[in-house]
Structure 1
Amino acid sequence: MKRLLLFLTACFFGFIVYFDLTTGTLPAMGIVAVEKAKEYPRQTIKEVLPYKQITVKPGDTLLTIVEREEGSLQVAIETVVADFQKLNKGLRPQDMQIGETYKIPVYE
């Protein structure tokens, strides 16, 4: 009886390992992203987020540029930084260079 119980336990653990390696118990991030991409039509950032191309001058920061263009900051600073990074391929605002042109988000 003990041998049968030990054999069934070993088979159960073997099945668990097999199932986890082939199917997995948690969804992979890549699979979830592919499934979500199928649900929604592909949109470009230009369609989703309006922007202006602005050349950086000495003393400019992302926030001063946005405030100069908008008059006052209408959204959270974190949102401005995240939108800037989306528009500029992940570039951090502190890495902006004088004389370079960047896409700055416009908020209405």
Structure 2
Amino acid sequence: MQILKKYILYIAIILLITSVYKDLSLGTNQIEHYRSDVILTDKNINNYTIIRLKAESGDTLLSIVESINESKTSLSPEKILTDFMELNPTSDPYHIKVGEWYYFPIYE
């Protein structure tokens, strides 16, 4: 019985070390880091790609769009608002609901 306990302990330690190694050695994509449930689409409209994200607590339209478009420093809030309303015609851009799915533009 002691041998079985030792084997189980060794296996658990090996799995733990392997898990920690993979966590530390693999990088994370910024968009995947922001949301784990991101779905990219093939649609290209008005010079942007569409991404579908689930809103979380504390999210605003501008905070989400700015975080997924980190390389774009000069995004016009009016353009973001217009594009969001085109992609989500039944949604109120001023009241993003937690847990709802929305389409957001990734500008090229």
TM range (shorter): 0.5 to 0.7
Gaps of 5+ in 2: 1-42
Q: Where does residue 57 of structure 1 map in the other structure?
A: 56
TM-score (norm 2): 0.52
- Give distance in 1, aligned partners of 2:100 and 2:68: 17
Q: Where does residue 67 of structure 1 map in the other structure?
A: 66
Q: Displacement, 1:74?
A: 3.2
Q: Deviations over 1:7-50 (max 9, x none)?
A: xxxxxxxxxxxxxxxxxxxxxxxxxxxxxxxxxxxxxxx44242
TM-score (norm 1): 0.52
CA 1:82/1:90 → structure 2, altered by over 3 Å: closer, same or farther? Answer: farther
1:48 to 45, 49, 53: 45
CA 1:47/1:67 → structure 2, altered by over 3 Å: closer, same or farther? Answer: closer
Kindly indicate whether residue 101 of structure 2 is the aligned counterpart of residue 101 of structure 1: yes
| SS in structure 2 of the partner of residue 95 of structure 1 | coil
| SS in structure 2 of the partner of residue 85 of structure 1 | helix
Gaps of 5+ in 1: 1-45
CA 1:78/1:91 → structure 2, altered by over 3 Å: closer, same or farther? Answer: same
State the identity as a percent: 33
Kindly indicate whether residue 79 of structure 2 is the aligned counterpart of residue 79 of structure 1: yes
| SS in structure 2 of the partner of residue 89 of structure 1 | coil
- Give distance in 2, aligned partners of 1:51 and 1:74: 19
Aligned residues: 63
